[in-house]
Structure 1
């Protein structure tokens, strides 16, 4: 803090010098601006805490802007929502948050619009604009993202005589059969309760379906979705997947891929450290490609995003927040975070920079501009739970009955 001095005037002091000191003494005291940043912790412990990442940015920002200090606090993901809610209830508003986006805070008038605290909001990943908006105005600013792509084992492909990853369902089934003939799992289809909704959603997208229509109506039991489950059943019955996909969780199938036991699966960047830790596949042994659809590769995929939001607090910190967010959202920091936690950037320029650094993940980045999200509905939590519990039983002769049941859950809660 810089405080103006008030020196005592000694006798015999020259008039000019006294006037100079008098002017200096008249300068008002100015306190440094202090911003509070509360961020979700993506790390696994003290040595891998997001606190380290954010503190590095805060220190560099302070060096460039000595009158602004950023106090960093990171919170375990499991406690993040509760922490922010408690702070808001107690009117101890954070200035900036990074993690979940709470549209009700925008509704209550507590947040700055993205355009108020970011010099170039058009650089934010456009696919997530709606998810971070309230009544058509964007408040949540995409900071880190993820998408899904097909991982494939190049060694198994070469052994099976497969030249390139499949683009259609029929090609996928043919290739999976060739890999299965080698004694491996052709295609990994995790429909266990851990994340069955993701695997299901990706298959539905491949046939022009999904959980909702474009205008937000529940459409879980649509003819396209029934047809999709019929094909998935065909793939399982042919022995081209792991046995009983409805009991297989994502974590298990990812580990099996890392061990070289699976030819193909729909994965995410979180698979990378698993591959590295297993020590079985070299970087040259695996690749990624767009997810296969019924008639061609998907030009969309499942996308997930975590947001930055800025609270108005007393309204005096807008310019300081803007300076900090412009600084923190630079490409170099977007790339650093993505590499540290095996995620993807939340800005268009950051994504372009990331691909140059890590070209192996280009297919994940390429999918982001057209990424689609889970339904933005209060009922989704109930629907997701039922999908996790029941979708495995849709692999069989009566998929429509299962989809009808899930559809009824969605309609009752709406």
Structure 2
């Protein structure tokens, strides 16, 4: 996604919504809220009477995942013969396309929304609040709390998560045995010690790092939080250069610049952590559920295991990446749209969708029924769900992320001091955020 395109669409959407907001007085707003609540109440009492078509938009997936989604949608249609689902794959620039269609009044009834993008769309008032549609049978308490909270604002739910992954520690069992390490590290200090033992050199060249690192905000946010730091404040300004945030980030950079026991994928010619790990160029990486089918397909003989991430400052932490089904506030088929969302994120639909393990269920009962909580490889990923930090931090996160990533890679590689790099990134981010207001 080009930055200029993203910004242009965002500004168009913001301008459109501002004009709409200015044209509504308090009385009209109250009437609209009452009408929405009435419609929502009716939706919980009876299925749609007339045959309707609900449009659903999402991004592309593997053939296996697409087959599972098709199966889930067919099961929904069989159980709801009065509702047809028109599913569309938006292959390129997904969010730009969605935002453009929302501006033009042609948005889908239901669509995928990544937690990263959720605060921005919630803030722009284009999503239908869902709490009034929910019945006790839907069992909201069954969801992993961080995942469902990722799509809330001021206690109001705007989406329900369809799947997720946290980060877990993937470790090479053969490397551990050769280094005399009996069990995976459970604290950062242990990780630091083990990574040194696992690092392998040939002359002056490191051919295998003990720890493979992704030096980006999406993977390091929980490290910022480990000592009480924050990525941003309530006004959306970047705050990742605080002393508390730097404490966690320093642990990451020191393993590379001081211990020489960690490296990023491109240092060994790999594209990402899973490939780095599969090629035997890192003994430990922090990756998600997506790495399991990749490793099974490309490195069948790799002997590895997973564990929860090591504690930092005595606290458990990890990242969570999750996607929800949300409803277009301007949908003309809200009753049917909710029936679709409630099935896809309900226990039955979620069981079908996550049955092969390509995606993990956000409902605790489904994870238990499918055995993922006890799975040899996926158990650690599921275990992190209850305490994970979702990958989001308000509507200004895209700006914050870009500036953080540019400077953190530089300091990770030893080209600048961490404190100086993060201060520079924070200042530039905040100038851009202020200019955009």
**TM-score normalised to structure 1 length:** 0.77
Q: Residue in 1 aligned with 2:7?
A: none
Which of residues 276, 299, 310 is equivalent to 2:296? 276
Superposed CA offset, 1:52-109 (max 9, x none): 4333223222322322322222322x34323333443343353322234475468546
Distance in 1, matches of 2:83 and 2:397, equals 41
Q: 2:35 maps to what in 1? A: none
Matches within 5 A, 1:203-218: 203-212=223-232, 218=238
The range that moved more, 245-254 or 138-147, is: 245-254
Q: Where does 1:120-199 land on structure 2 (aligned, <5 Å)?
A: 120-181=139-200, 184-191=208-215, 196-199=216-219
In structure 2, the CA distance between the partners of 1:305 and 1:252, relative to structure 1 (3 Å rule), is closer
Q: Report what 1:97 is aligned to.
A: 111
Q: Secondary structure at the match of 1:150?
A: strand
Report the secondary structure of 1:391's partner residue: helix
Match of 1:362 among 379, 382, 385: 379
- Taking a change above 3 Å as real, the CA distance of residues 83 and 198 of structure 1, as seen in their structure-2 partners, is closer
Residue aligning to 1:60: 75
Instruction: Name the counterpart of 2:368.
Output: 352
Distance 1:210 1:154, change over 3 A: farther
Q: Shift of residue 214 of structure 1?
A: 8.5
Distance in structure 2 (CA, Å) of the matches to 1:109 and 1:389? 31
Unpaired runs of 5+ residues, structure 1, are 1-29
Deviations 1:166-195 (A, max 9, x none): 12222112111211258632111232xxxx
Given that 2:219 and 2:319 are in contact with CA atoms closer than 8 Å, whether structure 1 keeps it comes out as no
Q: Secondary structure at the match of 1:143?
A: strand
Q: Is residue 91 of structure 2 the alignment partner of residue 70 of structure 1?
A: no
- 1:393 aligned counterpart, secondary structure: helix
Q: 2:400 aligns with which of 383, 400, 411?
A: 383
Contact preservation (8 Å) 1:55, 1:72? no
Q: 1:64 to 1:217 in 2, by over 3 A?
A: same
Distance 1:208 1:249, change over 3 A: farther
Unpaired stretches in structure 2, ≥5 consecutive residues: 1-47, 202-206
Q: What's the RMSD between the two structures over aligned residues?
A: 3.3
Q: Offset of 1:116 from its aligned partner?
A: 0.8
